[in-house]
Structure 1
Amino acid sequence: MTETRTTCPYCGVGCGVVASVSGDQIQIRGDQHHPSNFGKLCSKGVRLAETLGVRGRLMHPSIKGERDSWSRTLAYVGHKFRQAVDQHGPDSVAFYLSGQLLTEDYYVANKLMKGFIGSANVDTNSRLCMSSAVAAHKRGLGSDSVPGCYEDFELADLVVLVGSNMSWCHPVLFQRLQAARRARPRMRLVVIDPRRTATAEAADQHLAIRPGGDLALFHGLLRFLIEQGQQRPDAHQLPGWSDIQASLQAYDLARVARETDLNRDDIVDFYRQFATSPQVVTGFSMGINQSEQGVDQGNAILNCHLVTDRIGRPGMGPFSLTGQPNAMGGREVGGLANTLAAHRELDDEAARQAIAELWCSPQLASRPGLKAVELFEAMERGQIKAVWIMGTNPAVSLPDSGQVARALQACPLVVVSDCVSGTDTQRYADVLLPATGWGEKAGTVTNSERRLSRQRAFLPASGEARADWWMLCQMAKAMGFNYGFNFTNEADIFREHAALSAINGRLGGAFDIGALATLTDQQYQQLAPLQWPQPAGQPLQLNNQRLFASHPASPPQGQLHLSSPVTSPAPAGWVLNNGRYRDQWHTMTRTGLSSQLGRHRPWPEISLHPDDARLLDVTANDLLTLEAGDGTLRLPVALSAQQRRGELFAPIHWSGQYSGQAAVNAVVGRGRDSLSGQPGFKGARVQALAVTVRVWAQLWLPEPVALPQGVATFWASQTHSQGRLYLLASELSMSDCVTRLGQLLEELGHGQPSASQASAQGSRHLYVEHERLLAGVFVSPQRRHLPGDYLQQALQSPFTAAHQRSLLMTPTTESRLLCCCLQLTEADIDAAIAEGADSADKVADVCGAGTGCGSCRGEVMERCRLAKNELETEVQNALAD
């Protein structure tokens, strides 16, 4: 057995992973020595081995659907890019990158586009999640630098989480926070979020703020802190101080309450906690960034820490929680269209000269390129003649997906390199390039606390897959750039990247890993996780590092900035919020391969408050159609008292690969922050229309299938035990639906069902041969009467007569999987609560829920609270009687 230390490919926490390989058996566990997670993994990390292998992989290069050799394919790409540049200029071509790429891939892409092609048209899907935080850091701190460390969440007296469902989106870091709270009960957690999420459930105080109210809340907090004498002695010397003094007077308590929909007493309670806690960490994420005022909101948070000197020392500081595993690495190399490289700006003449010399650049880009949404708008207008999309799925992840489809159709050359096949974006590709995936590729990533870690290969490449940096180097040579791209391995690229970072250090920037520029190949292979800065000429710092401490170092070189909220009247309609499910990731190209990860939230649903459901005349057995512009979204209804009235919530994960009309960005507009270019995903306005469902169905098959037209008003699918499971909603009668699905199975060669059962709840039909289930059809007027998760448990091999009877006859009640690690459902948790377990810790003692990765603890707490409320209601009713 061989063991390889590497880094998880999911969120920005950057957990260390140990991969053990013995023959074709792979085991994944957390790396106890990695300082980000100390051996902990979330449910997604635990299931990484289930997502590996050749299933669903892109295996060979192809041009216009025809398999071809690497040499001919990359020569074709290089020729087409060169042709576009020669005929239309450098700005006629573009790269669109991904926070899933490794730093070395990012570096070569940026060098080629900005240093050799001569355009800054290289942007990334990190524009969609982190660019507003980047701009806020630059404006408020003077550089794009996260000041603190994960340890600060454990050392703080008060942790404030704003627009962050950390329990689901950064689970391991949240478990570190929760462990610290259990060890130090005086710690307080305040969660500011419109929804009562699993994170809010665990908080000491939850402020269910109105979307867009964050500016007013933090402007009011800054005014309160100054009135309480909390400002630092030299606050008057901070750039921007005099400008904000007068503006803050407008943010009295009445205005803050009005613009946030919060109770005055709750606001004052939060303000007092902040004022009386010197050690405060404010973590902010997508709920702040993904707004048309995302930069201003980020700066409002930074202001409170800068003015009161709560920054740069243990247990304090603003903390941007990164969404992707290498969003920060991409920023380091210049993977955004408005930066040059190594955290330097395109108009910085000293940096431009130094970088051009190091690269031997023939024509260095001199002006900003097109940001993500702008890029696809220009593509639709015909300005972009060739685009290379690497490791991302913009047809699903960008706003206004209809416009993205039109843009891709209009572009003469669309090149897509990816490790998986069949994504929505690949439908528009002229050239497909198979990239190595996690476990096969090697390089570095940088997590949310500025910590560089190695991703190491422990598997051979699938098919003809190659590293993205290798493809780029070959394409560069095909374009005629015969120097600058003769890298022999990842260490070669990293050394140049580290040397380039020293330019930033010499010019006074914080990002500097010049000390790593002389690593040998062996030292690079053995590189331990460490934070930047690591300047040349100084010994490596392996302990936690913080930036911008006032004492003894100098304060940040940015400025305070205060902006008023947009006061234009909001358009009519429902407010649509969106975000992640706990066990899924982005557009499910990886997590969708695991049957276990699909059991927690098997299907996309639209969550709304029961009062709103009555207004719309919908029940949990109906669909809801949302419309905005030319886009349509159609999802099953989920009633949730955790939703604010007038607001809806939908998951981001389902694409055309896994559903029909369930891609949420079809109804999200292209409005974006004017400074960062980050789209305002969190506040879309939509019209809602109820759709009555006559029949619900589940279809199980060993392989994915194209559903016939007219069967389903809605469908979604997921990887299931030994096959693929579909959920369908139909306007057909139950008999017609059974007939149409039976015809489909006949066309697939399954013949007639071998066993059937009809009841008042619906009908079930199994297709079995030699104790092997070939297909299954389950139909009912009520969705709750479908087998649901029970089907996952019932599918056994061999599929005996007893298993058949069980699946046909067992009444079903919907009970979702809650604890992925121990395979415990909501019913299992409720049984523990019924036995007297009234807290997450006591439930853990009874059944073990939450003792693995810990991701389910917030939901366990919620079920304990709901059970307690129900019991109190019963007692009150009994006393009243």
Structure 2
Amino acid sequence: TDTTRHADVLLPAAAWGEKDGTVTNSERRISRQRPFRRPPGEAWPDWRIVAEVARRMGHGDAFAFASPAAVFRDHAALSAFENDGGRAFDLGGLGGIDDISYDRLAPVHWPIRDDGDGRMFADRRFFTSDGRARFVATPAAAAPAPQPEFPLVLNTGRARDHWHTMTRTGSSPRLSGHAPEPYAEIHPRDAEARGIAAATLVEVRSPLGRIVGRAWINEGQRAGSVFVPMHWTDQYAGAGRVDALVEARADPVSGQPALKSTLVEVRPFAAAWHGFAVLRDLPESIAADYWALACAVDGWRLELAGVRAPDDWTAWARSLVPTAGEGDILAYHDAATDRHRFAVFDGDRLVGAIFVSREPPTLGRAFLAEGLSAAYVLPADRLRLLA
């Protein structure tokens, strides 16, 4: 991930379906979470990793946990420590829960005190020194005024099928199929004023940086603003991180970043060529000014574009397929229309198919991705890929 590349040591951790513990939702309901599979290899749950690191740092006595239940008891007891009703979060009533009761724990609201129920403010007292509610005035700073160079307001948020930075959803072919590359939603009037056509590449620029994504022209998008989703990282796109556009400015009270008010401009991305590829394995590097990866059933889908054509298209295509030097490669070149197509095989298996043209290739992308799962025994079947 973009984060792990900064680490000196990586410790394999159990994933969601491998964890044993509790989860709490936004209505303060604590529920037991039980694993449905064992962690693979040497992966450990988070609590065990923290406890083992602490032990090796000389703090083993303070982290002598033997199970998730032991961690929960310590967590619950700590929430009640020196808490005479001055803090909302209180699980003191579960501080002595035994292993069997923990395993059978039914969903329950906090606070959970020895002398009360899970309702808050039933006694009409608030968590302040005098028990009275306090309103906090939060004057809103004026939104930045559009500038001639940056006349649009950037809005960020979620796409339909992704969550956070695709560390989980990015590995699902089905979830990646809805929006396989970064995009910018723009109102038709704003798009027309800038010469932006649907499904073309655009550059979104702010005073701090730039990204490149696909234009989604949408009547429902507010005129004067542009929406870019937050999910793409350097692992999935060459220039898709929307945080590169956003100023590191936070609300003084909540600490919430200013993710909805960055001033930007959107212009067509001047690409000399466009490409699409399906690959069995991730390439070591991608020589393109724009690229975006999406997971497929047996490999990857890759959108590409560049402002300058490579000197040698065949050498460039080989660089995208790690096994190209060992396998058979078919190539098709049309100098008149500047179209180039390649298919690389390892035995009877397709390991890479690459299509390049001046305009975005009009191809059955899902069909080509399915080809990574097929066997190509006959020469005619292989040639048909490049037809």
* TM-score, length-scaled by structure 2: 0.85
Alpha carbons of structure 1 residues 506 and 440: separation in structure 2 relative to 1, 3 Å: same
Q: Tell me how far apart the structure 1 counterparts of residues 38 and 322 of structure 2 sit (CA, whole Å).
A: 40
Which structure dedicates a bigger proportion of its chain to helix? 1
1:753 aligns with 2:323: no
How far apart are residue 519 of structure 1 and its match? 1.5
Q: Tell me how far apart the structure 1 counterparts of residues 175 and 250 of structure 2 sit (CA, whole Å).
A: 32
How far apart are residue 457 of structure 1 and its match? 2.6
Contact 2:279 2:299 in 1 (8 A): yes
1:602 aligned residue: 180
What CA RMSD, in Å, does the superposition of the two structures yield over aligned residues? 3.1
The match for 1:566 among 129, 138, 141 is 141
SS at match of 1:785: coil
The aligned runs of 1:91-106 (5 Å cut-off) are none
How far apart are residue 779 of structure 1 and its match? 2.2
1:585 aligns with 2:163: yes
Q: Tell me how far apart the structure 2 counterparts of residues 494 and 746 of structure 1 sit (CA, whole Å).
A: 47
1:773 aligned residue: 350
2:303 aligned residue: 727
1:554 aligns with 2:124: yes
How far apart are residue 489 of structure 1 and its match? 1.5
Contact 2:143 2:261 in 1 (8 A): no
1:426 aligns with 2:1: no
How far apart are residue 800 of structure 1 and its match? 6.3
The match for 1:798 among 352, 356, 375 is 375
1:716 aligns with 2:286: no
One-letter identity of the residue aligned with 1:593: S
Q: Tell me how far apart the structure 1 counterparts of residues 359 and 310 of structure 2 sit (CA, whole Å).
A: 11
One-letter identity of the residue aligned with 1:469: W
For 1:254-296, what per-residue CA distance to the aligned partner results, in whole angstroms no more than 9, with x for missing partners?
xxxxxxxxxxxxxxxxxxxxxxxxxxxxxxxxxxxxxxxxxxx
One-letter identity of the residue aligned with 2:159: Y
Alpha carbons of structure 1 residues 783 and 644: separation in structure 2 relative to 1, 3 Å: same
Contact 2:283 2:321 in 1 (8 A): no
Alpha carbons of structure 1 residues 514 and 743: separation in structure 2 relative to 1, 3 Å: closer
How far apart are residue 687 of structure 1 and its match? 3.7
Alpha carbons of structure 1 residues 793 and 774: separation in structure 2 relative to 1, 3 Å: closer
How far apart are residue 461 of structure 1 and its match? 2.6
Q: Tell me how far apart the structure 1 counterparts of residues 32 and 198 of structure 2 sit (CA, whole Å).
A: 46
SS at match of 2:203: strand
1:664 aligns with 2:242: yes
How far apart are residue 723 of structure 1 and its match? 0.9
Q: Tell me how far apart the structure 2 counterparts of residues 471 and 805 of structure 1 sit (CA, whole Å).
A: 52
For 1:812-861, what per-residue CA distance to the aligned partner results, in whole angstroms no more than 9, with x for missing partners?
xxxxxxxxxxxxxxxxxxxxxxxxxxxxxxxxxxxxxxxxxxxxxxxxxx
Contact 2:310 2:316 in 1 (8 A): no
The match for 2:362 among 785, 803, 808 is 785
SS at match of 1:439: helix
The aligned runs of 1:67-146 (5 Å cut-off) are none
1:740 aligned residue: 316
Q: Tell me how far apart the structure 1 counterparts of residues 344 and 66 of structure 2 sit (CA, whole Å).
A: 54
Q: Tell me how far apart the structure 2 counterparts of residues 670 and 768 of structure 1 sit (CA, whole Å).
A: 47
In the alignment of these two chains, the number of paired residues is 377
SS at match of 2:17: coil
How far apart are residue 632 of structure 1 and its match? 2.4
One-letter identity of the residue aligned with 1:624: V
Alpha carbons of structure 1 residues 561 and 525: separation in structure 2 relative to 1, 3 Å: same
Alpha carbons of structure 1 residues 578 and 584: separation in structure 2 relative to 1, 3 Å: same
Alpha carbons of structure 1 residues 472 and 707: separation in structure 2 relative to 1, 3 Å: closer
SS at match of 2:342: strand
How far apart are residue 761 of structure 1 and its match? 10
Q: Which runs of 5+ in 2 are unaligned?
A: 127-131
One-letter identity of the residue aligned with 2:210: T
The aligned runs of 1:832-843 (5 Å cut-off) are none
Alpha carbons of structure 1 residues 613 and 497: separation in structure 2 relative to 1, 3 Å: same
For 1:454-498, what per-residue CA distance to the aligned partner results, in whole angstroms no more than 9, with x for missing partners?
222333332322233223333334444353222222111211222
For 1:715-771, what per-residue CA distance to the aligned partner results, in whole angstroms no more than 9, with x for missing partners?
011111211221101224599656622465487325553475979795543334554
Contact 2:146 2:153 in 1 (8 A): no
Range that drifts further, 719-728 or 451-460: 451-460
One-letter identity of the residue aligned with 2:178: H
One-letter identity of the residue aligned with 1:599: G
2:129 aligned residue: none
Alpha carbons of structure 1 residues 654 and 749: separation in structure 2 relative to 1, 3 Å: same
1:675 aligns with 2:245: no
Contact 1:697 1:786 in 2 (8 A): no
1:83 aligned residue: none
Contact 1:696 1:729 in 2 (8 A): yes
1:614 aligns with 2:192: yes
The one of the two structures with greater contact order (alpha-carbon pairs below 8 A, sep at least 6) is 1
Q: Tell me how far apart the structure 2 counterparts of residues 743 and 672 of structure 1 sit (CA, whole Å).
A: 43
Alpha carbons of structure 1 residues 746 and 439: separation in structure 2 relative to 1, 3 Å: closer
SS at match of 1:471: helix
SS at match of 1:506: coil
1:688 aligned residue: 266
Q: Tell me how far apart the structure 1 counterparts of residues 310 and 10 of structure 2 sit (CA, whole Å).
A: 42
1:501 aligns with 2:79: yes
How far apart are residue 602 of structure 1 and its match? 1.1
Contact 1:504 1:510 in 2 (8 A): no
How far apart are residue 657 of structure 1 and its match? 1.1
1:454 aligns with 2:32: yes
Q: Tell me how far apart the structure 1 counterparts of residues 318 and 54 of structure 2 sit (CA, whole Å).
A: 53
Seq. identity, %: 37
How far apart are residue 788 of structure 1 and its match? 2.5
Which structure dedicates a bigger proportion of its chain to strand? 2
1:46 aligned residue: none
Contact 2:332 2:341 in 1 (8 A): yes
Contact 1:424 1:655 in 2 (8 A): yes
Alpha carbons of structure 1 residues 754 and 454: separation in structure 2 relative to 1, 3 Å: same
Contact 1:622 1:692 in 2 (8 A): no
How far apart are residue 609 of structure 1 and its match? 1.4
